[in-house]
Structure 1
Amino acid sequence: MQDHPYVGMWVTDDGEVRHQLLPNGRYDEARGNRESAYRGRYEVTGSRIEYRDDTGFTADGDFVDANTLHHGGMVLRRI
């Protein structure tokens, strides 16, 4: 189990991209009408998040504060 304050739903302001960070270290990302567009594992170290989707693609991001995530040129907010 992941023990950090960032578990939950993170969404871009336009609602187009939605990251569900699950407590078991998995994530599910929806894009537009495409639910579960990407799925995989994530790991949080401090304020940094590292993603590895199930196809092997990797990405990362930074939590600016408890409610703001910068990832891949996007800003996601906790809902």
Structure 2
Amino acid sequence: MMRRVLALVGGGFLTVLLSGCFGAPGTGARAADASAHPYVGMWVTADGHIRQQLLADGRYDEARGDRESAYTGSYRVSGNRIDYVDDTGFTADGTFDGDVLDHGGYTFYREGSEAHRRAIAGRS
């Protein structure tokens, strides 16, 4: 079975036809290489209370304080915009500006980035 996948390449989208590298329909298995983008990784608030892991397979896992996996769901990136669909059906969006993500009234930073270090220093 052939599947079409949109992959972010050089700032634009490229349609890729794949055969046999996806799991059975409905299993959620994906080819990580086809869906990876520059924003995959850990994003955190300056105080570290909210931590959102963007996974290469189009899923996210968000921890809040001591509560691991407080929110989970899927996401889609288009350019510098991210659209979320929580597993409960709740939707949200955000905008990336380099290593900064504005989402849901919060500012997140790519963990360990210069922007993150500045944000932490600014809290002191």
The normalised TM-score by structure 1 is 0.95
Q: What stretches of structure 1 of length at least 5 have no aligned partner?
A: none
Task: Tell me the SS of whatever aligns to 1:9.
Answer: strand
> 1:77 — aligned with what?
109
Q: Which residues of 2 match residues 1-79 of structure 1 at below 5 A?
A: 1=32, 2-65=35-98, 67-79=99-111
Q: Is the 8 A contact 2:36 2:57 kept in 1?
A: no
More helix by share: 2
Q: Which has the larger radius of gyration?
A: 2
Report Cα offsets for 1:2-38 as digits up to 9, x if no partner.
2310000000000011100000000000011110000
Cα shift at 1:55 = 0.5
> 2:28 — aligned with what?
none
What is the percent sequence identity of the aligned residues?
64
Q: CA RMSD in A?
A: 0.7
Counterpart residue type for residue 107 of structure 2: V
Which consecutive segments of 4 or more residues in structure 1 shift more than 4 A?
Answer: none
The normalised TM-score by structure 2 is 0.61
CA distance in 2, matches of 1:49, 1:68: 12
Report Cα offsets for 1:50-79 as digits up to 9, x if no partner.
0001000000000011x1100011110011
Counterpart residue type for residue 67 of structure 2: R
Relative contact order (alpha carbons < 8 A, sep ≥ 6): 1 or 2 greater? Answer: 1
More strand by share: 1
